Structures are given as C-alpha cells and as structure tokens.
Chains A and B, each alone.
Chain A
Amino acid sequence: MKLRAARLVTSMGFALGLALASLPAFSRDADTVVAAFSAETTTLDPARSSGTVDRFYYFHLFEMLVIPDSKGNMSPWLATKWEVGEKDGKAYIDVWLRDDVRFHNGDPMTAQDVEFSWQRQRDPKVSLTASRHRNVEGFEIFNDHYFRINFKQPDGNYLAEYLQIVVMPKRYFEKVGSMEAFGAKPVGTGPWKFVSREIKRELNLTRNDDYWNAKNGPKAKNLTIKIIPEDLTRVSALRAGEVDWIDNVPLPLISEFKADKRFNTFSVQNGNFVYLDFPSHNKALPFAKLPVRQAIAHGFDMDAILKVVLYGEGNRFAGIGTDSNAYDPNLKPYEFDPAKSRELLAKAGYPNGLDIPCYSLTTPREPNIKEVSEAIYAYLQQAGIRCQIRAVEFGAWLDLLRRANPPHLDGLSIHMSAQGIPSDPGNSWSSSALHSYAPEIGFGTFSQTADPKADEYVQKIQQIMDMEKRRLLIQEAARYRQEQVLGGISLYQPRTTYAWNKRIDFTPWAYPGYWHLFQLVDIVD
C-alpha cells in the first residue's frame, strides 16, 4: 500500500505538471495593449473626480482646452488660443476652440459643450472640486467656437491650472439622462473610446478612429488597463508577459529593470512633493520660534536619506519643484549642519535640546515615506531634537493635519501634496500649505502656518493673471518662505518609474503629468 500511495501521488503530480505545461498560461488578443496600474479610479466622469488617480483613467477619454507644454506653460489643445482681458474692472478670458473636434458619438464639440462642462464642474452637488471655479461669474458664447469666461474677481490659479475645464458632451449627457448613465458609458473627445469596465479588474478601451489629432494618437487598436495593486505581482505579470506595461516599479527593482534588455523604462518626478511640516501658527509650541524651525531644517542629511532610503529615486529641491515653471535655481536646500542646529536651539532657549512628538505616516502614499520620516527623526536626535515617534495611518494623519477640528498637530509630520506641477504652487499654497487657516474662503485647510506676509503673497499671487508677473512673485514668495522656514521644509520630489516590454512601442507623452496616458502607443511584435 505504501508503494501504491507513493506511485499514485507521483503520477498525479506528473500528470498535473504536464497538463499545465502543455497549455499557455494566459491568452491575449494580438491587437490589445495590456497595461497594469497600481491604483484604481472610482469614476470615469471628470466632474465626479476627487483625485489624481482618476485623471490617469479619464484623460484617455476626455481632454482639456489647454495642456501644459514641456516647461509647464499653457499650450493649445482643444482651444486654439486664449486672451486675458479686462472689462468694467472685471477680468475675462476669451477662448477660441478648434472646429474639427468630434465626440466619440459623432457630435461636434462646441462652446455650448464647454459651458455645460463648466456648469457640471462648478456645481457642488456634482463636483468635489467645485471650489476651483468659485471666481468664475459665467460664460458668454459668441459662436460655436468662440466664447468668453467672465470672472467675479481675477483668478490666476485658473490659468495656472490650465483653465480647469475638462470637456464633456452636452447633448449626449442630456440624452443618457443621468450622471450614473454618463459615468457608466462615458463619451469624450479623447484618443480612446470606452468599451467596458469591471470594477477591481479592468477597463477596456478601443482606439478613436475619428480622433482630431490622429498624428498624435495611438496606433494600437485596443487598450486594456488592469488593476494590480500589489507591486511584486504587477512586476511578475510584466516579466511573465501577461501585461505589456506597468507603473510604479518598486524602488529596489528599478536598477534591475533598467539593466534588463527585455524592457524599456522611464523615470520621472511625480507631481507630489514631500515636505516636513510643523505647527508654526501655535505660539505655545517651540515651532513658533524661527531659530527652532531653522534648527530642524539643518538637522538632517536629506541627500544621504535619498541615496539610502529611496535608492536615489527622488529629486532634492528648495522652495518649488525643479519641473515647475516657477522653479528658481538660485534657491538652495538647507545644508546639513547638526552643530548649527544645536547652536540655534540654544539661541531659542533650548540649550539642552527639545523633546517633541514626531508623526510617521504608515500608509505608503509615496514609496518608503515612513522610512524617510523615521530616518529624518533619527538624524534630528543628533541635533538635539529628540523625537517621540508616533505612527499614524493616512485617515488619522489627515485628521491631524486638517485644521477644522481637533486633534491638531503638535509636533513634526511628514507631508506630501501636489504643488501644481508642472505649473506653479499658487493653488497649493493657498489651499493647503502656506496661507493661514481661513475656512470661509477655503484657504489653509492643512496649513500649519499663520504669517501675515505669507498670506499677502498668496492672495496677490492668486489675483495676478499675467503669468510672467505671477511667476516672479511666486519666486519672491518662495525665497521668503525659505528664509522664514514657513509652510514646511521642502524635502524631495519622488521619482516614479514605468516599465514596458518590447512588444509595444510606447512613448511617454511629452506633457508633464500625463505619464499614464497611452497617447502614443503601437504594437510592434
């Protein structure tokens, strides 16, 4: 019986192995590019969007009037040109549209569609980002391809964020009759048309053969975007040939992928910037004193942390990110100088150092963010700033930073937020990082700062609609921010790496912030 059992097990295993080996592990359509994204959108309706991840998806279907060029400046897209003007003391922007753009259902794109899109995006019952349109008074339509956006008060942020409007089809929306129906089968002007979607699994798209910008459109016929949240599974799926393209290659594997001839890679600074924040607005805490803030700024070796903890995959910067159109190369990061930190602490009245709470974010919103913060806190120990590390998950961390309700931040915390990249940080400074807390106008929601001069800068920046003047003022504000160590200490911009196999010819779209967009892709093998 012993022998029979052993034989039985062996033959079953052998048969199973043979059966598995004789079949392909997966089957795929020769005309389909299969990409794997690590995060999933909750909506394909641009007006319902609540975060960057949504854009990775809906920008395949929808487009904006203008998009950023390689330097982050406004560049024509669905709009051919725009002009800022002033009438009766009020600002306006005249916009001319292309006349050769059609939605996926064949309807031509007109100024009525743009106005309808604006109405949806400014309606707080529909849109979570309605406040971005709060300074717009209304539209004046002169003809199908020429209209005016009138402002209640000047809003430079509107221009800096590329006119904000994502264009949706008015007639189609009215025909399908509801937000849910539109979200379930969205129609836009983009290079890809919607086919089907299965939540937690995949999004299927097909090429828009009537795309107005066919020269800059995809050659591949179909695109399937799979959702694979686990890093190693996503990497394995690419290595096994089950997908053609992946985002967010894990940090320890980037060099391996770059050396592997079977794959192409592309590394880029992502739109977030990471900074160390502290409640300088609270006069009862040591952070209200400038020498304490300076001591913290000089108390850790960010270059070493980037090299070791982030495998070099992050760009150090001061003030404003290097790929922002307001970047100032003359502004240098704080130097690591623990002796100077101790001197500054003594000057501030803490000759024996400081004991403070230091919050570490456990949710990996950026690669190794927890480890980065803990490395900083360890360095600060040498400089006389003794951290009591407290780990918090993302939700609790948001509650801590959001100024509206307690608990309030009482120590150091790592922080990351978009800085308007590739544009400028005007909106980010007003809404979260630099302007003091002013809930009635939606300013300073996450701000740990209360400085009248910084407020003045931020308010002026918002009102300037001359983009060159705005850029210069932002650079001036950035210098003030750096000198006063306000609005946090800029640490680095994380780098993200994408990888794809030789089956496809993928060109990362030239426009910053659109790295997940399959605008230029073909199947070559």
Chain B
Amino acid sequence: MWTYILKRLLHGLFSIIGASLLIFVITRLTGDPVAMLLPPEATEEMVRQMRATLGLDRPIWEQYLIFASHALQGDLGMSYRWEMPALTLLLDRLPATIQLASAGLLFSISVAVPLGVLSAVYRGSWIDRVGKTLAMAGQAMPNFWVGLILILVFSVSLGWLPAYGSGSFRHLILPAIALGSYPVAAQTRIVRSSMLDVLDSDYIKMGRILGASESVLVWKYAFRNAAVPLITVLGVYFAAMLGGTFVVEVIFAWPGVGRTVVEAVFARDFPVVQAGVLFTSVVFVTVNLLVDLSYGVIDPRARVNV
C-alpha cells in the first residue's frame, strides 16, 4: 500500500513539474507583457528597464529555474499588474471559488441522485423519460446561457434572487445552479446504471421476497451500493469545477480564482497565470490520488488490486 502511495506521489510530482514547465513556456510564446504594461510613448530605455525589472531579459531556462526555486519556497512571483504576490492574489480569491464549486457540486448531486434513482426504479416510465430529458438539457445548455436565463427569470422578472455578486447564501443559488447543471446528466447516468445493476441483484430480490418495503429496499440497501461509483468520481468533478468556474464567475461577477486567472491570461500577467495553473494541477493531482485511495476504503474489493 505504501509503495503504491509513494509511486502515485512521484507520478503526481512529475505531472505538476510538467504542467508548470508547459505553462511557463506557453505564456512566453504568447508575446511580451511589457508591450501591454507601458504606454506608447515609453522609450526603448524604459522598455529595457521594465524587462530587466521583471526578469524577462534572461534566457527562458534561467527564468524557469528562478521561478522553480522561488516556488519551492512558496513564492510564485509578484503580479505584474496587481502589485501583490500572485499567490496572495489567488489565495484571497480561493474561498469564493471553493464555495461556488462546492455549491455547484451539491446542486448537481441533489438533482442527479433522486433523478438517477427514480429513473432506475421506474425504468421506461414517464419519470425515466423526464429524468433523461432534464439531464440531457443540463448538458446541452452552456453554463453562460443557463446563467443569463436564470438572472433574467429569478432576478429581473421575479426579483427573488440577486443578479450578481457574493456574500450570502442567496447570492450563491443562481451561480451554483448554472455551474452544477452541466454535470447533472453524467451523474444521473452513473446513478441510474449503477442502480439498475444493484436492483437486479439477488439480495434485493431476496429482500422483496422477505417482504421489505420498496422504499427501504431502494434507499437503504440498493442506493448505498449504487452510490459507490458516484462517490469515487465526485472528487474529480469537484477538481474540474474548481478549475472550470471562470465563465460562471464572469457572468455572476463572482470574485473567484477562475476569473482572476483568465483576466491575467489576457493581460499577460505571467506570474498569476503560472500560479493559477500550478494551483489547479496540484488540486487535480491531490484529488485524483485521494479518490484512488478512497476506492479501497469504500469498496474492500478494490484493496486486492492495490
């Protein structure tokens, strides 16, 4: 087991180094940030000075080594535009993004689980068809569009919920729905197919023969086992949501990491982009590792393979 964990940690470390190297090179291929920082009347001397101040006059391999050695000490550089450490800029915004991603995930599960279970229990019925349609609709509609429609209906027309911003539970509802509507379809399918397998198993049939009520059979015995595949992918969904909140953050003026990083991409604020990608890759690697390890905890059969 420990060998397995060590191996996975090493793989993770290589992935993070690879991601950091890749983003370091790619950002520098996009062009010169000094061109966007200085006004047109800046002299060549000012341009040279600025490039030297930002360390952009050194060879790229040297820039990377400096970046990596500083990163190991927790210093991911100063933002070119915000006059603060890139890491601080992102960490200050991180709670808002975690809050949004958690709420989005919670929304998607709370829709996908009942929908998946009911679709399996009433396979082929109208409930199954409605469930499929709703799930597919969530996947078919881009989240920026869902966001705008939600704002028009619940903020402008009904006046029930705020159109933008953060700070209270009510602010969280619309962005969470916009973010969480997309994975509903996939999660519903996982729950449904897993429930169908379990409902067809011998111990459920035996339960019916012994006279257990249908709701007890479905929720207490069948769903517990059927939930295992969903739980194992939730971590990956959470990581994907942490890295994919940008569009929803822009639509709802949500002060999160995604919006900060994408704006930094357009402004060529290299330290913030690098910090953002490094952060996302660390989250992905960590979550994937935890998910893989959790297989063994949730399903004892998986321990054999490990």
Chain A interface residues toward B at CB < 8 A: 1-2, 5, 9, 17, 20-21, 23, 25-26, 42-43, 48, 50, 124-125, 128-132, 134, 179-180, 183, 198-201, 226-230, 232-234, 236-237, 239-242, 363, 393-396, 398-399, 402, 404-405, 417, 427-428, 430-432, 439-443, 445-446
Contact = CB atoms under 8 A, between A and B. Distances in A.
A395 B151 contact: no
B118 interface: yes
A439 B160 contact: no
Interface in B24-40: 30-32, 35-40
Interface string B61-94: 0000000000000000000011110000100110
B38 A128 contact: yes
Nearest to B144: A230
Contacts of A2: 122, 125, 127
B151 A233 contact: yes
Contact of A25 (B39, B92, B148, B170): B170
B41 A230 contact: no
Contacts of B40: 417, 428, 431-432, 445-446
A21 B160 CA distance: 5
A239 B31 contact: no
Nearest to B215: A1
A441 B89 CA distance: 36
B302 interface: no
A67 to B, nearest CB: 20
B122 A427 contact: no
A200 B260 contact: yes
A25 B44 contact: no
B152 interface: yes
B144 to A, nearest CB: 8
Interface stretch (B7-15, B161-169, B289-297): B161-169
| B: interface residue count bin | 35 or more
Interface in B248-295: 250-253, 255-256, 259-260, 266, 268
Contacts of B152: 236
B20 to A, nearest CB: 21
27 contacts: A1-B215, A2-B127, A20-B154, A26-B162, A42-B82, A48-B83, A50-B37, A50-B81, A128-B38, A128-B42, A131-B42, A198-B255, A199-B93, A201-B165, A226-B165, A228-B164, A230-B251, A232-B148, A236-B152, A237-B164, A241-B159, A394-B36, A395-B31, A431-B39, A439-B43, A445-B40, A446-B40
A21 B32 CA distance: 51
B116 to A, nearest CB: 13
Which of B43, B47, B166 has the most chain A CB within a 10 Å cutoff? B43
A19 B126 CA distance: 29
A43 B80 CA distance: 12
B159 A240 contact: yes
B206 interface: no
Given A226-B253, A402-B35, A242 B162 contact: yes
Which of A1, A179, A395, A439 has the most chain B CB within a 10 Å cutoff? A395
B156 interface: yes
A363 B268 CA distance: 14
A179 B125 CA distance: 68
Contacts of A9: 114
B268 to A, nearest CB: 6
Contacts, number: 163
Contacts of B256: 200
B25 to A, nearest CB: 16
Contact of B32 (A17, A363, A405): A405
B36 to A, nearest CB: 6
A207 to B, nearest CB: 23
A199 B89 contact: yes
Contacts of A229: 250, 253, 259
B41 A427 contact: yes
Interface in B112-127: 114, 118, 121-122, 125, 127
B232 interface: no
Given A25-B155, A445-B41, A399 B214 contact: no
B256 to A, nearest CB: 8
A395 to B, nearest CB: 5
B212 interface: no
Contacts of B89: 199
B46 A440 contact: no
B161 A25 contact: yes
B253 A124 contact: no
B174 to A, nearest CB: 10
A398 B31 contact: yes
A242 B250 contact: no
Interface in B159-217: 159-166, 170, 214-215
A239 to B, nearest CB: 5
A237 B82 CA distance: 27
B30 A42 contact: no
B46 A442 contact: yes
A498 to B, nearest CB: 18
Interface of B: 30-32, 35-47, 49, 53, 81-84, 89, 92-93, 114, 118, 121-122, 125, 127, 148, 151-152, 154-156, 158-166, 170, 214-215, 250-253, 255-256, 259-260, 266, 268
Contact of B36 (A26, A232, A398): A398
A180 B40 CA distance: 26
A398 B30 CA distance: 11
A430 B253 CA distance: 39
B6 to A, nearest CB: 40
Contacts of B155: 25, 236-237, 240, 242
Given A227-B253, A240-B163, A43 B83 contact: yes
A205 B152 CA distance: 30
A503 to B, nearest CB: 15
Contacts of A129: 39, 41
Given A2-B125, A42-B82, A240-B155, 19 more contacts: A2-B127, A17-B160, A25-B155, A128-B42, A198-B255, A200-B256, A200-B259, A228-B253, A229-B250, A229-B259, A233-B164, A233-B251, A233-B252, A242-B155, A395-B30, A405-B32, A441-B43, A445-B40, A446-B40
A14 to B, nearest CB: 14
Contacts of B38: 50, 128
Which of A20, A25, A130, A134 has the most chain B CB within a 10 Å cutoff? A25
- Give 9 nearest A-B pairs by CB, closest first: A431-B41, A200-B255, A439-B44, A442-B43, A432-B40, A20-B160, A431-B40, A445-B40, A228-B253
Contacts of A198: 255
Given A232-B151, A236-B155, A131 B255 contact: no
Contacts of B259: 200, 229
B36 A242 contact: no
B47 A404 contact: yes
A226 B35 CA distance: 29
Given A131-B46, A395-B30, A442-B46, A233 B83 contact: no
A437 B148 CA distance: 46
B23 to A, nearest CB: 16
A199 B215 contact: no
A191 B53 CA distance: 36
Contacts of A226: 164-165, 253
A350 B70 CA distance: 58
B165 to A, nearest CB: 7
